[in-house]
Amino acid sequence: EFANVILLNKVDLVTQEKIDVTKKLIQVLNPKARVVEGSFGKIDLLNILNTKLFNMQEASESPGWLNSLKEGVDADHGEADEYGVTSFVYRARKPFHPQRIHSFLKQLFCFAEDWASSPEEASRAHDKTNKPSSTKEKYGSILRSKGTCWIAGRDHRQVGWAQAGRIVQLSLDAPWYCKIPESEWEDAESEEDRLDIQDKFEGD
């Protein structure tokens, strides 16, 4: 979602409708990317090399999925909605059960550690255990998800959640703010920020 140029190769093997849908999906994740079509790897190199399009500030502020969340789930996303691309925010004040969330994710995705060691083997093992057609029918196609979650038993630490396509990764992240002294709250640049953080605390 941070790429400046995205190459769609082998467009000769699919219908124009599928090409259009793919482009709309790319737009949702990365509205500013230049999409270049190609067949048999025949691409004008000037379109993909030394384009001078990258800007670090813009990249850090403009992921399409982040814009979508800021706009809200009821916002009009135009053509993205037309092609069935939607987004939502899941929030809860209860932790995930570690075994249940592991089993759930394993139905839908391959864990990054397994994929890194052997992509083809991980993919085959996943499809053998879980029928892609049945999980898609039940949950739809989840293109991208990202955030922070709470896993029971890891109560002092945030768990980072990152999923793209078939790959998902959960990793221990920073302590929750309630476990960090106020003097070390890096994101609290003003009293308003501090009160906003404290407002989300519950219990002791």
Q: What is the mean pLDDT of residues 174-183?
A: 86
Mean pLDDT of the chain: 79
Quickly count: other Cβ atoms within 10 Å of residue 130's Cβ.
Answer: 14
R_g of the chain computed on alpha carbons: 20
Is pLDDT above 80 for 173? yes
Is pLDDT above 70 for 150? yes
Label residue 16 by pLDDT band (50, 70, 90).
Answer: very high
DSSP run (H or E) holding 14: none
Q: Please identify which residue in the block is written with the tokens 């259009």.
A: 20
Q: Look up residue 178 and give its two tokens.
A: 């309630």
Amino acid at 118: S
Is pLDDT above 90 for 172? yes
* Residue extents of the structural domains in the chain: 5-82, 98-178
Q: Write the DSSP string, 56-98.
A: HHHHHH--HHHHHHHH-TTS--THHHHTT--------SSPBPH
Is pLDDT above 80 for 171? yes
Amino acid at 145: S
Is pLDDT above 80 for 34? yes
- To the question of pTM greater than 0.85 for the whole model, the response is no
17 or 136: which leads in pLDDT: 17
Per residue in 36-88, pLDDT (tens digit) is 998 888 888 888 787 777 776 666 665 555 555 555 544 555 555 566 677 78
Strands (E), the chain: 5-8, 34-37, 110-111, 144-149, 157-164, 167-175
Cα separation, 29 vs 90, in Å, equals 18
The pLDDT of residue 49 is: 81
Select, from the ranges 42-56, 60-74, 128-142, 169-183, the one with the highest average predicted confidence (pLDDT): 169-183
Partners of 164 in beta bridges: 144, 167
